[in-house]
Amino acid sequence: MKAKVIITPKAEVLDPQGKTVQTALEQMGCTGVGEVRVGKYIEIEMDGEHDEVKAKLSEYADKFLANPNIEDYRLKLED
């Protein structure tokens, strides 16, 4: 099954990339742009049942895929 992990910088963390994208969009003439945040998107092919995969991935997301000091993550499993 395909699992997706979406990792975003925490609200209080400076996001230089997001800021740069925002400015660049504005400079290119894209109107109405508000805050931009840039994070990561990880797709993982994984054997196993929904719950098992979910448990496993939560574990690895907590300790490895995301850094809790600076990032939040969401897990999505495709069924």
Partner 1 sequence: MSSDPSITPELISEHGLTAEEYDRIKEIIGREPNYVELGIFSVMWSEHCSYKNTRALLKGFPVESPRVLVGAGEENAGILDIGDNLAISFKIESHNHPSAVEPFQGAATGVGGIIRDIFTMGARPVCAINSLRFGDLSNSEVRRLFRGVVSGIAHYGNCFGIPTVAGEVYFDQSYEGNPLVNAFALGVLRHDQIARGAAKGVGNPVFYVGPATGRDGLAGAAFASQDLTEESAEQQRSAVQVGDPFMEKLCMEACLELLATGAVAGIQDMGAAGLTCSTCETAARGGTGVEIDLAKVPQRSPGMTPYEILLSESQERMLIIVEKGREDEVKRIFDKWDLPWAEIGNVTDTGQMVVKNHGEVVADLPAAKLADEAPVYHREAKEPVYLDEVRNFTLEEIEDCDDPKSALEKLLEWPTIASKNWVYRQYDHMVRANTMVNPGSDAAVIRIKADSVPGDDAREDFPEKIIALAVDCNATHVYLDPYEGSKASVAECARNLACSGALPIGTTDNLNFGNPHNPELFWQLKESVRGLSEGCTAFDAPVTGGNVSLYNQNPDGAIDPTPTVAMVGVVEDEAHVTTQWFKDKGDAVILLGEPVGKGDILYGLGGSAYLQVIHGCKNGKPPVCDLGIERTLGTTLLGLIQSGLIKSAHDCSEGGLAVTLAESCFSELHGRNTPCFLGADVDLSSIVDIRSDALLFGESHGRIIISTSDIDAVKTVERAKLMGVPAQRIGTVGGDQLKVKLFNEEYAWEIAGLHDLWWNSIGNAMA
Partner 2 sequence: MNFAVLQFPGSNCDQDCVHVLRNVMGYPTQLLWHKENNVGDADAVVVPGGFSYGDYLRTGSIARFSPVMGAVKEFADNGGFVLGICNGFQILCEAGLLPGALIRNRSLQFRCEHVYLKVATYNSPFTSQIPEGKLMRIPIAHGEGNYFCDANTLDEIEANDRILFQYADREGDITDHANPNGSLKNIAGICNAERNIAGMMPHPERAAESALNEKDGRLVFESLIQSLNPASTTA
Binding site for its own copies (CB under 8 A): 6-8, 18, 21-22, 24-25, 28, 30-48, 53, 56, 60, 64-65
The answer to whether 64 touches 5, Cβ cutoff 8 Å, is no
48 binds partner 1 (CB under 8 A): no
Which tokens belong to 18? 């997001």
Phi, psi of 13, rounded to the nearest 5 degrees: -90, 135
14 binds partner 2 (CB under 8 A): yes
- For residues 23 and 12, give the distance between their C-alpha atoms in angstroms, rounded to a whole number: 19
Q: Which amino acid is at 72?
A: D
3-state secondary structure of 47: coil
Among 20, 30, 33, 60, binds partner 1 (CB under 8 A): 20
If the CB atoms of residues 54 and 71 are measured against partner 2, the closer one turns out to be 71
21 binds partner 2 (CB under 8 A): yes
Residues that bind partner 1 (CB under 8 A): 9, 11-16, 19-20, 23, 67-70
